[in-house]
Amino acid sequence: MVWLRALRTTRIVFVVVPIIFGALASWEILKGDNKYEYLTATMALIAGIVPAFYAALKLDEHLPTAMRLAGEYKNLEILFGDLAAIGRSTPGSQVRRGLFSTLTT
């Protein structure tokens, strides 16, 4: 679950940071003040490089897989919790009924 949250946050950062840096860099250029030319150039460079890194890492391809695996993990966690509640000392027929009711709900 933590990995899925980290992937979603990373996707948001990779989309928002270039927009913000591009806006700040263009604001300094339009303002015409040469006092921050290195900062402006750095922000423009970052705004151009970040989308290329995002595309090279192919993080969008990993997100659906991570979401599917997180769902499977949660389903197994619930199933094993129900099986633990049934217990070891229960007779076989009750275990089958409990397992069947767990799987059908």
List of residues 6+ apart from 46 with CB closer than 8 A: 17, 18, 21
Asked if residues 84 and 56 have their Cβ atoms less than 8 Å apart, the reply is no
Cut 0.85: pTM above it: no
pLDDT grade, residue 101 (50/70/90)? low
User: 33-90: per-residue pLDDT in tens?
Assistant: 667 778 888 888 888 888 888 888 887 787 888 888 888 998 889 888 877 777 666 6
List of residues 6+ apart from 8 with CB closer than 8 A: 63
User: 15-46: per-residue pLDDT in tens?
Assistant: 888 888 888 888 766 677 667 778 888 888 88
